[in-house]
């Protein structure tokens, strides 16, 4: 996949460009369906499949306060889009000048002239341009004169007959509530956080006899406090583990931490960047009356995680 991080780097229109446009936070199965429709259309007309997104998220520019945490930061979003088979990712630096572009300019100057759009695949609620003045009907009115096709994709319904459609908002709610198996069904993968292993309070191995990797989070959206069965990716290898998210109430630190005990692992990974995939929530954080009770519960958590991985 070719990545263009600025519109000025596009020197000439793409061959028979088929494009979809959005923030794609989470790159969930609804987004993936859009990408696959783009790819199929591009293959049918011997064209180029393109996804256009924005960085930073437009809401960060247009609304200074109260924006929700992102499910996927740009690095992961680009990786996930590449996995779908899209040919080109255009990441537009979003600023107030870009936000002021009229819907007419957006279609004619950007999509048609610069990108060479022959087809666009959008969801039913798609809007664009200054103050979101552009609509699907407007896009369709331009199509005959400018020689492109507008394809309106169906929404992907939530799995197992749940009410509503798959959305980044719903996935965010599930992750915040610790419902990782439900989030997985909408994402099409386990929810993942990324971070670097840093020096912790040196209690896991020495005091508890259960070493943990303390993670300095790179991501914005963190699951609900508690204990989780997780898998851990270190370079190109994957391990099973148990993650603790919270405030270590037994020690009364009142300091938020994310730490992972990696099963059957004893290498030094301080400073390493790791990825943690959340499989299932095991329990809430609990305050224990003494260290011995905490150790026994941790052993039970590890056994519970092994049981989850054995299924």
Would you say residue 151 has pLDDT above 80?
A: yes
Residue 180 located in a structural domain: no
Residue 82 located in a structural domain: yes
> For the chain, how long is the longest CA-to-CA vector?
75
Q: How far is CA 84 from the centre of its chain?
A: 14
Would you say residue 160 has pLDDT above 70?
A: no
The tens digit of pLDDT for each residue in 221-232 reads 999 999 999 999
Residue 182 located in a structural domain: no
Return the minimum-mean-pLDDT range out of 8-12, 206-210, 223-227, 261-265: 206-210
Tally of domains within the chain: 2
The tens digit of pLDDT for each residue in 63-111 reads 877 678 999 999 999 999 999 999 999 999 999 999 999 999 999 999 9
Place of tokens 């199929």: 40
Examine the domain organization and report whether 142 and 260 are in the same domain: no
Q: How confident is the model at residue 307 (pLDDT cuts 50, 70, 90)?
A: very high
Examine the domain organization and report whether 206 and 112 are in the same domain: no
Token readout for 148 is 């492109």
Return left, alpha or beta for 149; rule: phi > 0 is left, psi -120 to 50 is alpha, else beta. Answer: beta
Examine the domain organization and report whether 89 and 202 are in the same domain: no
The tens digit of pLDDT for each residue in 12-67 reads 999 999 999 999 999 999 999 999 999 999 999 999 999 999 999 988 888 877 67
Examine the domain organization and report whether 127 and 239 are in the same domain: no
- Whole-number Å distance between alpha carbons of 29 and 158: 10
Return the minimum-mean-pLDDT range out of 42-56, 81-95, 128-142, 246-260: 246-260
Q: Looking at the DSSP assignment, which residues form a beta bridge with residue 88?
A: 2, 50
Higher pLDDT, 255 or 161: 255
Sheet holding 2-4, edge to edge: 2-4, 88-93, 48-55, 17-21, 117-122, 149-152
**pLDDT for the residue 276:** 97
Q: Which domain holds residue 239?
A: 190-310
Whether the ω angle into residue 142 lies within 30 degrees of 0, i.e. cis, is no
Give the length of the chain.
311
Residue 160 located in a structural domain: no
Which of 152, 173, 199 is the endpoint of a domain? 152
Nearest to 126 by CA among 116, 136, 138: 136
Mean pLDDT, range 194-223, rounded to an integer: 79
Examine the domain organization and report whether 131 and 241 are in the same domain: no
Examine the domain organization and report whether 97 and 209 are in the same domain: no
Contact between residue 297 and residue 226 where contact means Cβ atoms under 8 Å apart: no
Mean pLDDT, range 233-252, rounded to an integer: 88
CATH code assigned at 237:
2.40.30.30
Examine the domain organization and report whether 16 and 140 are in the same domain: yes
Contact between residue 53 and residue 86 where contact means Cβ atoms under 8 Å apart: no
Mean pLDDT, range 230-259, rounded to an integer: 88
Would you say residue 204 has pLDDT above 70?
A: no
Higher pLDDT, 124 or 278: 278
To the nearest whole percent, how much of the chain has pLDDT over 70? 92
Residue 205 located in a structural domain: yes
To the nearest whole percent, how much of the chain has pLDDT over 90? 75
Would you say residue 205 has pLDDT above 50?
A: no
Contacts of 131 (CB under 8 A, 6+ apart): none
Q: What is the mean pLDDT of the chain?
A: 91
Would you say residue 251 has pLDDT above 90?
A: no
Q: What are phi and psi of 157, to 5 degrees?
A: -75, 155
Q: Looking at the DSSP assignment, which residues form a beta bridge with residue 90?
A: 4, 52
Would you say residue 248 has pLDDT above 80?
A: no
Query: Residue 155: how many CA atoms within 13 Å on its side-chain side?
Result: 12
Mean pLDDT, range 184-208, rounded to an integer: 81
DSSP codes, 40-53: HHHHHTT-EEEEEE
Token readout for 75 is 């690095």
Residue 177 located in a structural domain: no
**Angle value at C-alpha 300, between 298 and 304, nearest 5 degrees:** 115
């Amino acid at each position: 996949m070719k990545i263009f991080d600025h519109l000025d780097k596009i020197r000439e229109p793409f061959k028979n460009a088929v494009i979809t446009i959005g923030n794609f936070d989470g790159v969930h199965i609804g987004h993936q369906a859009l990408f696959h429709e783009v790819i199929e259309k591009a293959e049918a007309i011997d064209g180029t499949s393109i996804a256009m997104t924005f960085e930073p998220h437009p809401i960060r520019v247009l609304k200074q306060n109260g924006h929700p945490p992102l499910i996927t930061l740009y690095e992961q979003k680009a990786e996930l889009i590449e996995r779908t088979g899209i040919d080109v990712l255009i990441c537009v630096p979003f600023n107030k000048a870009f936000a002021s572009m009229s819907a007419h300019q957006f279609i004619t100057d950007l999509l048609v002239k610069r990108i060479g759009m022959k087809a666009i695949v959008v969801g039913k609620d798609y809007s664009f341009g200054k103050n979101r003045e552009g609509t699907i009907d407007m896009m369709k009115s331009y199509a005959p004169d400018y020689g492109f096709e507008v394809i309106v994709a169906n929404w992907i319904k939530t799995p197992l007959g749940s009410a509503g459609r798959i959305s980044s908002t719903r996935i965010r709610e599930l992750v915040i509530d610790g419902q990782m198996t439900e989030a997985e069904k909408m994402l099409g993968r386990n929810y993942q956080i990324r971070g670097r292993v840093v020096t912790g309070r040196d209690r896991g191995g020495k005091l508890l006899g259960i070493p943990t990797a303390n993670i300095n989070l790179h991501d914005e959206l963190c699951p609900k406090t508690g204990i989780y069965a997780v898998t851990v990716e270190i370079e190109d290898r994957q391990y099973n583990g148990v993650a603790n998210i919270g405030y270590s109430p037994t020690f009364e630190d009142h300091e938020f931490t994310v730490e992972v005990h990696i099963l059957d692992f004893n290498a030094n990974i301080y400073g390493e960047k790791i990825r943690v995939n959340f499989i299932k929530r095991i329990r809430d954080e609990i305050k224990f009356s003494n260290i011995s009770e905490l150790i026994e519960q941790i052993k039970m958590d590890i056994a519970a995680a092994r049981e989850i991985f054995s299924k």
